[in-house]
């Protein structure tokens, strides 16, 4: 072999040395394993504090489980669920829950949409107004509910004073806790006050992603602000609208803090002297931790869980249909 041949052989050798096996292993570990390690804490915590309680609650719902008499503990099968069908307290609480849910969720989302549309315009001090609408959301529920309890007081409440200005209740002040409809309105007002600003900012963030050219083209075609809102804005922010509908459905059907603290004696969880505003969440609390019947309370919890799934699915489907989706 000549020197020329040797040079040719050397120039044909690979330019890169074989990869280091340790570096290659670290690379695979970094790309294949590390992402799972980073998201693992969420799933571990969810399994411990989310999935396990749901499964365990389902097991308890199929058993007789009383804290005041351990001898009554045993397998019940579907007995607790069968008892729900004839339990008037459960059905009354379900009616109260849906009544407050409708009075709070529908006006809440509509007002939030209008407010977001207003905040999406060029306003002086826009940041101030956007932060201001979020203040009710960051206010503790206990503090705001106690303030509203005074606001809806029969004798010295501001609500009755405002009604008296228009000639209503001058002779006899309205007792907001006495009747079903008045207590529903009072509790729904508390819920709306807290969540309107939060939903409005969600809508606002979605509206700001809509190109301005779309509105300019609609204005050229003669579409006014109201028509632009319902024909352009709402369809283009449909995913956020769907999210708020589902979120409001879950929160509205699980309502607990506001009706609980609206009662003059919250520890009893009566929801009024005639249970006129007692929700299912309050009833579950009363059955489980005052009557100490955990098995029956667990069955109520599962019934509420299934009801929330059904209503949330119906609301999601209706929202898609109204928004032009499929």
Q: What pLDDT is stored for residue 325 in this prediction?
A: 56
Distance CA 123, CA 121 (A): 6
Q: What are the residue ranges of helices labelled H in 120-237?
A: 126-132, 135-138, 141-151, 158-165, 180-207, 212-220, 225-228, 234-236
Local structure of 63: helix, strand or coil: strand
Q: Looking at the DSSP assignment, which residues form a beta bridge with residue 74?
A: 64
The tens place of each residue's pLDDT in the chain, 326 residues long, gives: 444 444 444 444 455 545 577 777 888 888 888 889 899 999 999 999 989 999 999 999 999 988 887 777 788 889 999 999 899 999 999 999 999 999 999 999 999 999 999 998 888 888 888 888 989 998 888 888 889 988 998 888 889 888 888 888 667 888 899 889 999 999 999 999 999 999 999 999 999 999 888 888 888 888 888 888 888 899 999 999 999 999 999 999 999 999 998 988 888 888 988 899 999 999 999 999 998 999 999 999 999 999 999 999 998 888 877 765 55
Angle between helical axes of 294-322 and 52-61 (0-180°, round to 10): 120
Tell me the two tokens of residue 296: 């029956």
Domain ranges of the chain: 87-322
Distance CA 306, CA 304 (A): 5
Query: Are 242 and 319 within 8 A, CB to CB?
Result: yes
Q: What pLDDT is stored for residue 268 in this prediction?
A: 85
Q: What pLDDT is stored for residue 166 in this prediction?
A: 83
Q: What pLDDT is stored for residue 237 in this prediction?
A: 92
Q: What pLDDT is stored for residue 304 in this prediction?
A: 94
Q: What pLDDT is stored for residue 324 in this prediction?
A: 59
Question: Which of 289, 261, 259, 252 lies closest to 276 in space, CA to CA?
Answer: 259
| pTM of the predicted structure, to 2 decimals | 0.83
Query: What CATH number has the domain spanning 87-322?
Result: 1.10.3720.10
Tell me how far CA of residue 87 lies from CA of 68, 268, 309, in angstroms.
21, 19, 22
């Amino acid at each position: 072999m000549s020197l020329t041949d040797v040079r040719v052989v050397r120039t044909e050798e690979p330019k890169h040395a074989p990869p280091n096996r340790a570096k290659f292993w670290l690379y695979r570990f970094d790309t294949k394993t590390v992402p799972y390690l980073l998201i693992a804490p969420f799933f571990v915590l969810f399994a411990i504090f989310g999935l396990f309680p749901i499964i365990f609650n389902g097991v308890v719902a199929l058993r007789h489980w009383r804290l005041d008499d351990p001898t009554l503990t045993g397998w019940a099968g579907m007995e607790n669920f069968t008892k729900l069908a004839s339990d008037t307290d459960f059905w009354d609480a379900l009616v109260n829950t849906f009544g407050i849910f409708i009075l709070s969720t529908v006006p809440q989302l509509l007002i939030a949409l209008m407010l977001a549309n207003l905040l999406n315009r060029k306003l002086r001090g826009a940041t101030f107004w956007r932060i201001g609408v979020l203040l009710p959301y960051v206010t503790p529920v206990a503090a705001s509910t106690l303030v509203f309890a005074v606001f809806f007081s029969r004798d010295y409440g501001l609500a009755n004073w405002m009604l008296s200005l228009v000639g209503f209740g001058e002779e006899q002040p309205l007792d907001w806790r006495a009747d079903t409809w008045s207590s529903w309105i009072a509790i729904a007002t508390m819920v709306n006050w807290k969540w309107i600003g939060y939903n409005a900012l969600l809508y606002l963030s979605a509206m700001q992603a809509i190109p301005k050219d779309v509105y300019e083209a609609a204005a050229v075609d003669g579409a006014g602000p109201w028509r632009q809102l319902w024909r352009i804005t709402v369809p283009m922010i449909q995913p956020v609208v769907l999210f708020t509908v589902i979120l409001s459905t879950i929160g509205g059907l699980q309502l607990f803090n506001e009706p609980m603290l609206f009662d003059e004696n919250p520890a009893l969880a009566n929801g009024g002297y005639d249970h006129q505003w007692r929700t299912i969440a309050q009833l579950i609390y009363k059955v489980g931790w005052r009557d100490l019947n955990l098995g029956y309370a667990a069955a109520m919890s599962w019934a509420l869980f299934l009801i929330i799934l059904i209503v949330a699915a119906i609301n999601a489907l209706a929202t898609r249909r109204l928004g032009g989706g499929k």
